[in-house]
Amino acid sequence: MAWLEAVYRVRASPHEIEAIALAIALEQSVEVPLAAVKDVGVRENIVARVQGIRALEEREFEVRLALAEQTMGGDPAQTLNMLFGNSSMHTHVELIDAELPGDLIEHCAGPRFGIRGLREKLKVESRPMTCAALKPQGLPTAALARLCEQFARGGVDVIKDDHGLADQTYSPFAERARACQTAVAAAQRATGRASFYVPNLIGAPKTLYEQARIARDEGVEIVMVAPALVGLPVFQELVAEHLKGIAVLAHPAWAGAARIAPAFLMGKLFRLYGADAVIYPHYMGRFAYSRTQCRDIADASRRPWGGVREALPVPAGGMVVERVGELVRFYGREVMLLIGGSLLVADDVEARTREFVRAVEDADAALEVDG
C-alpha cells in the first residue's frame, strides 16, 4: 500500500494536540470514529496515520499525516478532497504541504512548456521576462487594443488581460481577442519584435472551452486562467484537453480565499495541474504576502520535481518600474516581472513601457557583473 505525507499547521494546546492530530487523520480518511471502522482492511490500509507532531510555537504544531494514495485514485478533485476537504472547515487547521500521488502526477503531468518552453516561445534567451496588463476594464475594445499596441511598441514580452476582463458588453471576449492580436501584429510589423497578447479565459466549462477555441483560432499562443476561481479540476481538464500548443499563465484570483499555504497551492498545485507561469502578489506591493512566502512560492514553482517541468514565477500586485532592480536581485533571471498600474498612470504609456523594458535589461546586466 502506498502512502503519501501531508503536512498541516494546527493551533492547539499541548495537551490537546495528539487527540486533534488523530481527529484530523480520521476526518481526512474515513470520516467516522475509529469504533465505526469494523473492517480490518480499512483500518490497516485506509485510515490515515499520524506520522509526527512537532511544536512550532507555543500553541502551534506541525502535524504530519500519512494518507493512503488509493483513496485519491489519481483524480484531481478527489486528491484535494482527501488533502483538505473537511479539514478546510476547521479554522485551527491549515494545509501547508503534501506529497502528491504518483498517478495524479502522471495524470496531470504539469506545465507543457515550463520555463524553457516559454523562453523559446518568447525568444528571450536568459534575461528576466516582462509583462504588462490591459486595464481598466470598462474601456471599449478599441481602447484596449490601442493600449496593447503601445505596450507592444514599448517592447514588453507579454501583454495580458486584466483578470477582471471577461465577456462583458464593453469588450466582448471574441472581439477583444481579435483586436488585440491585430494590435500586437501591427506593432511587430513596425518594430520587428514580437509581443504576445494573453487573453483571460473565465466561466463555466462550456464557456472556458469555447474561449479556448476562439483564442486558438485567433492565433493566441498564451492564455491566462484563474485555477482557484474556475476550479482546479476544471483547470486541469482545460489545460490537458483544450489548450494543446498554448501556454498557460495562472492568476491567483479566489486562491487567497483558501486557508492553504500559498507556496503549496500556487507553487505546487497550480504547477502540477498545468500552469506554465504563476502570477502571485509580491511583498513589495499592495498585498500582505511576506518576503518568505514569495520566496517559497518561487522556490516551489521552480524546484526540480521528477518529470514535472518548472513553472515561471510572475510576481505582481502593485510593482513599480523604479524597483525592477530589487526584484531581479531577489528572484534572479528565471522570472517574469508583471507591472500594471505603474505603466498606465503615465501620460505616454509607450515611453513608460520602454523604461520598464530597459530597467529589466539593466538589472539583468548588473547580475552579470555581480555574478
Q: Which stretch binds a second copy (CB under 8 A): 56-64, 122-130, 132-140, 326-334?
A: 132-140
Of 8 and 115, the one with the shorter C-beta distance to a second copy is 8
Residue 63 binds to a second copy (criterion: CB under 8 A):
no
How far out from the chain centre does Cα 88 lie? 20
3-state secondary structure of 315: strand
# residues near a second copy by CB under 8 A: 86
Q: Per-residue contact track with a second copy, 314 to 333, x per CB under 8 A? A: ---x----------------
CB of 22 or CB of 124, closer to a second copy: 22
Q: Which helix (H) or strand (E) holds 371?
A: none
DSSP-based helix, strand, coil % in the chain, nearest 5 = 45, 20, 35
Question: Among 15, 33, 123, 371, which residue sits at the site for a second copy (rule: CB under 8 A)?
Answer: 33
Q: Does position 259 bind a second copy by CB under 8 A?
A: yes
Smallest gap from residue 32 Cβ to a second copy (A): 4
Shortest Å distance, C-beta 124 to a second copy: 26
Compare residues 3 and 287 and give the one whose CB is closer to a second copy. Answer: 287
Kindly state whether residue 345 participates in binding a second copy, applying the rule CB under 8 A: yes
Interface residue with a second copy among 4, 8, 9, 84 (CB under 8 A) is 84
- By CB under 8 A, the residues from 170 to 189 that bind a second copy are 170
Q: Which of residues 185-244 bind a second copy (CB under 8 A)?
A: 202-207, 226, 228-234, 236-237, 241
DSSP characters over 111-166:
-SSHHHHHHHHHT--SSPEEEEEE--BTB-HHHHHHHHHHHHHHT-SEEEE-TT-S
Closer residue to a second copy in complex, CB, 37/174: 37
Which residues of the chain form beta strands (DSSP E)? 3-11, 49-57, 60-68, 93-98, 129-134, 158-161, 196-198, 200-201, 222-225, 247-250, 277-281, 312-316, 336-339
Which 8-state DSSP code applies to residue 57?
Answer: E
Q: Is 19 near a second copy (CB under 8 A)?
A: no
When asked if residue 138 is in the footprint of a second copy (CB under 8 A), the reply is yes
Residue numbers 151-170 binding a second copy by CB under 8 A: 162-164, 166-170
Backbone dihedral angles phi then psi of residue 322, each to the nearest 5 degrees? -65, -15
User: How would you label 326-353 residue by residue, b for 16+ Cβ within 10 Å and e otherwise?
Assistant: ebbebbebbbbbbbbebbbeeeebbebb
350 binds a second copy (CB under 8 A): no
Helix (H) / strand (E) element for 252: namely none
